[in-house]
Amino acid sequence: MRTLQLATIGAGRIGSNHAEIVARHIHGVTLAAVTDPVPGTARRLATELGAPTATTDVEEVLGRDDIHGVLITAPARSHTGLVVAAAAAGKHIFVEKPMAVTSADADRAIAAAEQAGVVLQVGFNRRFAPGFAAAHAAVADGRTGTPQLLRSLTRDPGPFTADPARIPQWTIFLETLVHDFDTLCWLNPGATPVSVHATADALVRPDAKADGHLDTAVVTIRFDNGAIATAEASFSALYGYDVRAEVFGSEGMVTAGNGRSTDMTFYGPQGIHVDTARRDTELLRAAYTAELTAFADAVRHKNPALVTGHDARRALSIALAAIRSVETTATVTIAEVTA
């Protein structure tokens, strides 16, 4: 098959990471263009990676026939609009999570892609991390039996230095824990989330709580097969980036994630020491490469996407229920927020 030409929309931290993988590490794929609204940003990245086009104009990229697909790595609130526009232009779409932050938007994104007949893959990267994938295989193979207790957590590397005022409200649910919500659904195959109870606070930056900034959360989710899942997040883990999952079932337990950066261990006067991964782009390097390779394969081989808009909508529904649970302190059903 001819070379697949992709463009990135958004050249920030994750956009740059994905662009580099596409440009250098996936066979048969070319980074044809980089877009970013900030003048100069797209140009710098395109030059570094040898992409022929750099522009601040998304329309320019969507209008080109020789570009087959886009990676949407712009700010979360713009994702749905970009998905709809890209679908309308007939581009295949890899969109970073969250695909949408309202149910209506999720429906709109899914419908647009279906109508256009384009691939729509969502950036739930953990599904492609080797340990998580092996855990999923163990569950899917029946080795754990029926899932009864699940856990998934995300701890962003600290210290937290961002300006809380620039982080949209509910980000911990819509952008961070949405990963865990997807992971928990994926690790409980065939089951549907039913109700949610959430607790959240500003423990890292208590001073920012008055403005609605939350940085620490625990969410309990009931599934229709009885399983009880816990999702947990913090914006500031001083020891690095930490994502883990655990599935306890009627026949056994499986865990994934250990935070190590390599299998090297040092023994010194202070004891045993192991290096941790400090960033998602380090810990999940293989996962990012695998998910983008899977996207390219879906486009080229006309396979269905491995992570769909429906998956994104399901994870979003848990996030929306969690938000309402924080607002009301009550247990909230998924039905309430998706009705």
User: Which residues, numbered 155-214, are part of the site for its own copies (CB under 8 A)?
Assistant: 155, 197, 199, 201, 203-204, 206
Which residues neighbour 87 within 8 Å (Cβ) at sequence distance 6 or greater? Answer: 93, 109, 112, 113, 115, 116, 118, 120
- Identify residues 18-57 at the interface with its own copies (CB under 8 A): 23-25, 27-28
Least distance in Å: CB of 79 to its own copies? 28
| Chosen residue from 111, 134, 140, 162 binding its own copies by CB under 8 A | 134
- For 165, residues 6+ apart whose C-beta sits below 8 A from its C-beta are 208, 211, 213
Stretch that binds its own copies, among 59-67, 104-112, 299-307, 329-337 (CB under 8 A): 329-337
Q: Which stretch binds its own copies (CB under 8 A): 9-17, 109-117, 180-188, 244-252?
A: 244-252
Q: Give the Cα separation of 254 and 50 in Å (integer).
A: 43
Does residue 271 touch its own copies according to CB under 8 A?
Answer: yes
Closer CB to its own copies, residue 40 or residue 266?
266
CB–CB of 322/305 below 8 Å? no
Contact call for residue 103 and its own copies (CB under 8 A): no
Is there binding between residue 251 and its own copies (CB under 8 A)?
yes
CA distance 84 to 111: 9
Q: Is 276 in the site for its own copies (CB under 8 A)?
A: yes
Q: Round to whole Å and give the CA distance between 118 and 91.
A: 6
Strand ranges inside 119-241, DSSP E: 120-122, 147-157, 193-201, 216-223, 228-237
Largest CA distance in the chain: 63
Residue 293 Cβ, how far from its own copies at the closest point, in Å? 9
Q: CA 33, 305, 313 angle in degrees (round to 5)?
A: 100
- Tokens 């309402």 belong to residue: 324
User: Could you tell me the smallest distance in angstroms from the CB atom of residue 329 to its own copies?
Assistant: 5
Q: Is residue 93 involved in binding its own copies (CB under 8 A)?
A: no
Q: Using the rule CB under 8 A, which residue among 165, 210, 272, 339 binds its own copies?
A: 272
Give me the least distance between CB of 237 and its own copies, in Å please.
Answer: 7
Element (H, E) at 110: helix 103-116
CB-based contacts of 28, cutoff 8 Å, min separation 6 = 1, 3, 4, 296, 300
> Does the protein bind its own copies through residue 227 (CB under 8 A)?
yes
Decide: is 323 part of the binding site for its own copies (CB under 8 A). Answer: no
Which residue's CB is nearer to its own copies, number 55 or number 146? Answer: 146
> Can you tell me the distance from the alpha carbon of 25 to that of 289, in angstroms, rounded to the nearest whole number?
7
Residue 306 interacting with its own copies (CB under 8 A): no
Residue with Cβ nearer its own copies (57 or 275)? 275
